[in-house]
Amino acid sequence: AQTVTQSQPEMSVQEAETVTLSCTYDTSENNYYLFWYKQPPSRQMILVIRQEAYKQQNATENRFSVNFQKAAKSFSLKISDSQLGDTAMYFCAFMNPTSAGNMLTFGGGTRLMVKP
């Protein structure tokens, strides 16, 4: 079974600064997907960024980028130029694409507060 660990329950950052959220995972699979989801107070889980394990290049989406270290089983999220709207819970998630159900395994989350 896969496990996902987020070691930072809460973080804060000043508006316009950069913050990095940590995530580690454990799996015996070689091919898998990793995700970062954002859950604002509105509660809807929104996909921030996705990384395929067989791709060495780190994924980027505008102000969001990841540092994917496959050997270390680490998948951190960097948010550049933080905005007030980035305030939310952030969840790291794992998915094995060869499993029948493609279920997501989530970490416990990091609450990010962006301060003006």
Partner 1 sequence: DTGVSQNPRHKITKRGQNVTFRCDPISEHNRLYWYRQTLGQGPEFLTYFQNEAQLEKSRLLSDRFSAERPKGSFSTLEIQRTEQGDSAMYLCASTLRSISGTGSGYTFGSGTRLTVV
Answer for which of 14, 16, 17, 47 binds partner 1 (CB under 8 A) is: 47
Determine the Cα angle at 78 with ends 91 and 115, to 5°. 85
CA distance 40 to 27: 28
- Least separation in angstroms between residue 82's CB and partner 1 is 22
User: Look-up: residue for tokens 């279920």?
Assistant: 103
Read off the amino acid at residue 67.
N
Q: Is position 44 an interface residue for partner 1 (rule: CB under 8 A)?
A: yes
Answer for which of 66, 91, 112, 114 binds partner 1 (CB under 8 A) is: 91
Binding site for partner 1 (CB under 8 A): 4, 6, 9, 42-47, 50, 91, 93, 97, 100-109
